Amino acid sequence: MTTLDADKQLQLLIKFGGLVSREPRLDPLLELIADQVRAILNADRCTVFLIDLQTNELWSKIAQGLEHQEIRIPMGKGLAGITAVTGETINSVLAYGDSRFSADIDRVTGYRTRNALTVPLKNNKGEMLGVFQVLNKLDGGDFTGDDIGLLTLLGTVAANSLENARLYEDIRRTQLETIYRLAITAEYRDQQDTALHLKNISAVSCLIAIAMGLSADDCEDIRQASTLHDIGKVGLCDAILHKPGKLTPGEYEEMKKHTIYGAKILANTESRLLRVAYRLACAHHEKFDGSGYPNKLKGGEIPLEARIVAVADVFDALCMPRVYKPAWGPQRAYDYVMAESGKSFDPEVLAAFKAAFPKILKIYENMPVGGQAAV
């Protein structure tokens, strides 16, 4: 074979197959493939392009040197675009002397492509999925016939995993859209700024979770599941939801039942995401000191996700106008929330909220404050 000896390349190939088969998520899979292919081919960079049939473009979020910015290339343009259309392998030994080469990405990144190897990425049916492209052989030489064979083999190994990952993404996207529309059903009965409210709580909850050092998967689950925290409001009557004044004790007790209704709606699910939503629906009104509802949970008895969303929910509610109050400015809402440390809210969650606040503040910079000065 080429620069790496045959045994070493075989080991890398076996490792490659094992790694890609275990990663169901598309973005991490693309990053994993790009890193592995670059190492196996002894190239400076690797890009995995996938075909977007709706726009007739190649796209990649994993283009080394672009800091994970998505790039798009029209089908038929440049080496990758030509390979995607024709299915041919292109080994360009002198990129800037090749009329098929497009320097657009080099101009964006400041990179200088010396040589490039581009092979089609096909599934078992021979259908085109995308393109592998490796750039600049690290030993200073050119890509060889052995490299072409190896990259083609890597594409064959990766294709099944990529198809599975795209299917997983489609299923998850459908699930998230269903969840979002279900959340809107509940929120729309309560207020008219539904989409903005859900968007804000989702974003703030995720930023807090990130600041707490939670895993990427946990942060994403909290971001998505947070939209369902008030799903139980579908069980409340309009007279309570839309009452402009203070609720009577009896009305308030009825309002508190939305946590119980939400728990019943989301109970006994097999979905990891909906299990998070279940915990949020049950416990987002529990208070750290045990004075909340419905179960008067205290401290660590309250699920962490609910402790996080409780902060985001109250903060956003204060920043948004309601039938019973004008909006508060973000700084005033922040001060109120921080003053509830150890009472309504977990001090550790509030420490993360404080750390994330500069980013959170950007969400609210351009929002109207309903007659209250944003201070």
Q: At what angle do helices 216-225 and 304-319 cross, to 10 degrees?
A: 50
DSSP-derived 3-state class of residue 329: coil
Domains and CATH numbers, the chain: 6-166 (3.30.450.40), 189-364 (1.10.3210.10)
Predicted pLDDT at 189: 54
Whole-angstrom distance, CA of residue 26 vs CA of residue 166: 6
**Residue owning tokens 């969400």:** 363
**String of DSSP letters for 170-224:** HHHHHHHHHHHHHHHHHHHTT-S-HHHHHHHHHHHHHHHHHHTT--HHHHHHHHH
Task: List pLDDT tens digits, range 240-260.
Answer: 877 877 889 999 999 999 999
Per-residue pLDDT tens for 162-213?
888 777 777 777 677 777 666 666 665 555 556 677 889 999 999 999 999 9
Residue 84 has pLDDT above 70, yes or no: yes
Q: What is the pLDDT of residue 2?
A: 45
- What the block records as the tokens of 357 is 């606040």
Annotated active-site residue 233? The verdict is yes
pLDDT of residue 66: 52
Task: Look at residue 239 in the predicted model and tell me its pLDDT.
Answer: 82
* CA atoms lying within 13 Å on the CB side of residue 85: 13
Per-range mean pLDDT, top range of 214-228, 243-257, 278-292: 278-292
Task: List beta partners, residue 45.
Answer: 135
Q: What pLDDT digit, counting tens, does each position of 2-33 carry?
A: 445 667 767 777 777 788 877 777 777 888 88
**332 touches 338 (CB < 8 A):** no
CA–CA separation, 327 and 306 (whole Å) = 24
- Contact between 190 and 322 (Cβ < 8 Å): no
Give residue 31's pLDDT.
82
pTM of the model: 0.61
Q: What is the pLDDT of residue 69?
A: 64
CA angle 373, 241, 271 (to 5 degrees): 100
What digits encode the pLDDT tens for the residues 294-306? 999 999 999 999 9
Q: Which of 8, 61, 233, 298 is catalytic?
A: 233
Q: Is the pLDDT of residue 81 over 90?
A: yes
Residue 68 has pLDDT above 70, yes or no: no
Question: E-strand spans in the chain?
Answer: 43-52, 57-60, 71-74, 90-92, 116-122, 128-137
State how far the Cα of 156 lies from the Cα of 214, in Å rounded to an integer: 35
Window from 35-39, 108-112, 177-181, 352-356 with minimum mean pLDDT? 177-181
Output the pLDDT for position 261: 92
Alpha-carbon distance of 331 to 197, in angstroms, equals 18
Indicate if the pLDDT at residue 373 is higher than 50: no
Instruction: Return the higher-pLDDT residue of 191 and 219.
Output: 219
Model confidence band, residue 264 (pLDDT cutoffs 50, 70, 90): very high
pLDDT at 169: 75
pLDDT for the residue numbered 33 = 85
Q: What is the largest CA-CA distance in the chain?
A: 80
Query: How far is C-alpha 354 from the chain's CA centre?
Result: 22
* C-alpha distance from residue 370 to each of 117, 124, 192, 311 (Å): 58, 58, 14, 21
Task: Write down the residue that tokens 């995607």 correspond to.
Answer: 84
Terminal C-alpha separation, the chain: 66
pLDDT digits (tens, 9 = 90+) for 309-361: 999 999 999 998 876 678 899 999 999 999 999 999 999 999 999 999 999 99
Please give the pLDDT value at position 374: 35
User: 119: which strand partners?
Assistant: 132
Collapsing DSSP states into helix, strand and coil, what is residue 243? coil
Q: What does each C-alpha distance from 24 to 21, 66, 156, 217, 271 come to in angstroms?
A: 8, 24, 17, 12, 16
